[in-house]
Amino acid sequence: MDWGMKNRLSRIIKPEDGRAVMLAVDHGYFLGPTSGLEEPRKTIAPLLPHADSIMLTRGVLRTSVDPAANVPVVLRVSGGTSILKELSNEDITVSIEDAIRLNVSAMALSIFVGSEFEKQTLVSLTKLVDEGERHGIPVLAVTAVGKDMARDVRYLGLACRIAAELGAHIVKTYHCDDFDKLVESCPIPVIIAGGKKTPELEALELTFNAVRGGAVGVDMGRNIFQSDSPTGMIRAVRAIVHDKATVKQAYDIYQGSKSGKARKAG
Nearest approach in angstroms of CB 24 to ligand R5P is: 3
Is residue 220 a contact residue for ligand R5P (CB under 6 A)? yes
Burial class (CB in 10 A: 0-12, 13-18, 19+), 253: buried
Beta bridge partners of 139: 107
Single out the residue of 51, 75, 96, 142 in contact with ligand R5P (rule: CB under 6 A): 142
- Comparing CB distances to ligand R5P, the nearer of 6 and 85 is 85
Applying CB under 6 A, does 58 fall inside the site for ligand R5P?
Answer: no
175 binds ligand R5P (CB under 6 A): no
Q: Name the residues annotated as catalytic.
A: 172
Say how many C-beta atoms besides its own lie within 10 A of residue 231's C-beta: 18
How many Cβ atoms are within 10 Å of 192's Cβ, its own excluded?
25
Phi, psi of 159 (to 5 degrees): -65, -40
What is the four-CA torsion angle of 201, 205, 206, 207, rounded to 10 degrees? 100
Residue 167 lies near ligand R5P (rule: CB under 6 A): no
| H or E segment to which residue 190 belongs | strand 190-193
In terms of C-beta density within 10 A (0-12 exposed, 13-18 middle, 19 or more buried), how is residue 265 classed?
A: exposed
Q: Based on CB atoms, which residue is closest to ligand R5P, 16 or 203? A: 203
Q: Candidates 221, 234, 237, 240: give the one binding ligand R5P (CB under 6 A).
A: 221
AA identity, residue 33: P
Distance, in Å, from the CA atom of 148 to the CA atom of 237, rounded to the nearest integer, reads: 30
Note whether 200 binds ligand R5P by CB under 6 A.
Answer: no
Confirm or reject binding of residue 61 to ligand R5P (CB under 6 A). no
Out of 58, 222, 235, 238, which residue is the one contacting ligand R5P (CB under 6 A)?
Answer: 222
Task: State yes or no: residue 193 binds ligand R5P (CB under 6 A).
Answer: yes
Using the rule CB under 6 A, is 74 a contact of ligand R5P?
no
**Which backbone phi and psi does 260 adopt, to 5 degrees?**
-60, -45
Query: Is 106 a binder of ligand R5P (CB under 6 A)?
Result: no
Nearer to ligand R5P, 9 or 206 (CB): 206
Q: Which of residues 111-140 bind ligand R5P (CB under 6 A)?
A: none
| Residues contributing to the site for ligand R5P (CB under 6 A) | 24, 26-27, 55, 142, 193-195, 219-223
